[in-house]
Amino acid sequence: MTAQGHPPHRTRLPAVHESLLPREHALHRPRHGSKQLGALIAACVFFVTPVLSWTLGARVESFENRPLAEFPSLSQGWGFFTGFSQWATDHLVFRQDAVRAADGISKGLFGEPAPLDRGQQQGPVGGVQTSTPDVPKQQVPVDQQQALPGFTRVVAGKDDWLFFGLDFQAKCKPDKTIDDTLSRIRRLKQVVEASGRGFLLLVPPDKSTVEPGQLPASYGGKECAAPAATEFWNKFSVEPGVVDVRPILAETKKRLGKPVYHKQDTHWGDEGAVAAVRELAERLQPGVTAPWSVSLGESYSSPADLAGMIGQSGQNAGFHYEVKPNGTENRAKGMNATFSTPIPVTTSQLPGMLPGQVVVFGDSFLVSISRYLPAAMSGFTVQHYGYAVADPVASGKTAANNDVVVFEAVERNLTSGTAGFLSNEFIEAFGKELAAKPRPR
């Protein structure tokens, strides 16, 4: 204190940048200018390269089991910035070559494929959910999910067989229980049948269900996936309105002496599609396919989706088939479409074909199935249910113009509970449109 009783005047020290403080000081922070500049340059190259490549005419094709990420919209707010990274990654022109190079190096040095399909999530693995709040339009379909820790998107089996790893994740970490999914299917069936229409659910099995002998000795989800699959089929195979095609697929495999699923793709070949359409027609009208004549058509080759996920260039090779419902006239015809909108098809009625109108909402298996629907039905409409659930009112109006409503969903989309048409919102809105235009019984 001074003689006047005031505190002594203290001189303020000049401000010092934290990087100039002694290293021992608690607030010392080193400068990162050069590192920050390098990171900034790398980020600019990463994000600008896809734009420049596109401007110069380079185009990227999807080689994974999903479409390329679309350029984010400014209307998404902060979502523009979070989505920009995935867009830039997907549109790097030489990304597939880099993936293949990494896989080749891994095989050459370590004798095993590169772990290119590992999930990116961090943190503990969540337990199996016993109930899930109904959140329509926000569930991510199994095919578009990332692999959780402990799982991979692709499982390498025996003799170069590949399996979709998310088949197992869908069973071990479902969004809904099997009983919950079954309850929703029953409700959907009830609203369709209450309107005077027929209802069927066609379920293509997972490849791992059809070819378990080709699975490796160890893989993520082995212990929990098999019991879940058994429970699913025990309940769904006896459920009224469900078309279980496992028996006819097994019979087709035995008769032809070859697998009905592609070795390096998650889908079946045309053999499975013909068998499934035939089974569907028989469920709607027993004996209708008796006049059918099926013979080999033209050969085809297409990229194998599972091989592409791990940087390999696998190909599906097989044959399309000619299907003559009356024994003489081929009606099989491919549909080069994305099925994003309803596609109506009308042809003349032949013996061996179903009368009336049928609507089929399906998933990726719809591509092969749709080729053979013209041989089984004189009038039908097809649409991918991933687009249909976005507008349940419009989908209901489409279904209201038909006598029979068919949903097709692969096993994994049902064991996981992520099939979009399972939401209560969709079922309610869809059912209202059907009820507004009932069919005479």
Q: How does pLDDT run across 357-368, given as a tens digit for each residue?
A: 999 999 999 999
In a domain, 86, yes or no: no
In a domain, 178, yes or no: yes
Q: What is the pLDDT of residue 122?
A: 30
Give the three-class secondary structure for 143.
helix
Rounded Cα distance, 180 and 414, in Å: 10
In a domain, 224, yes or no: no
Number of domains in the chain: 1
Rounded Cα distance, 146 and 122, in Å: 12
Q: Do the Cβ atoms of 256 and 270 come closer than 8 Å?
A: no
Q: What is the pLDDT of residue 224?
A: 96
Radius of gyration of the chain (CA): 28
Of 268, 271, 158, 163, whose CA–CA distance to 213 is shortest? Answer: 158
Q: What is the pLDDT of residue 339?
A: 95
Domain span at 351: 142-215+236-435
In a domain, 13, yes or no: no
Q: Do the Cβ atoms of 109 and 115 come closer than 8 Å?
A: no
Q: What is the pLDDT of residue 104?
A: 56
In a domain, 427, yes or no: yes
Q: What is the pLDDT of residue 137?
A: 36
Rounded Cα distance, 54 and 39, in Å: 24
In a domain, 441, yes or no: no
In a domain, 260, yes or no: yes
CA distances from 239 to 9, 107, 115, 171, 384 (A): 89, 46, 40, 19, 24
Entry field: residues in the chain = 441
Q: Do the Cβ atoms of 159 and 214 come closer than 8 Å?
A: yes
Q: What is the pLDDT of residue 136?
A: 35
Partnered with residue 379 across adjacent β-strands are 346
Q: What is the pLDDT of residue 62?
A: 57
In the chain, which stretches have pLDDT less than 70? 1-40, 42-71, 73-145
Q: What is the pLDDT of residue 133?
A: 32
Q: Do the Cβ atoms of 311 and 99 come closer than 8 Å?
A: yes
The token duo for 261 is: 């699923």
**Each residue of 399-437: b (16+ CB within 10 Å) or e?**
bbebbbbbbbbbbbbbbbbbbbbbbeebbebbbebbeee
Of 92, 102, 101, 104, whose CA–CA distance to 62 is shortest? Answer: 92
Rounded Cα distance, 94 and 225, in Å: 36
Q: Considering only the C-alpha atoms of the chain, give the largest distance between any 2 of them, rounded to a whole number of Å.
A: 121
pLDDT in tens, 211-254: 999 999 999 999 999 999 999 999 999 999 999 999 999 999 99
The structure's pTM equals 0.72
In a domain, 221, yes or no: no
Q: What is the pLDDT of residue 403?
A: 97
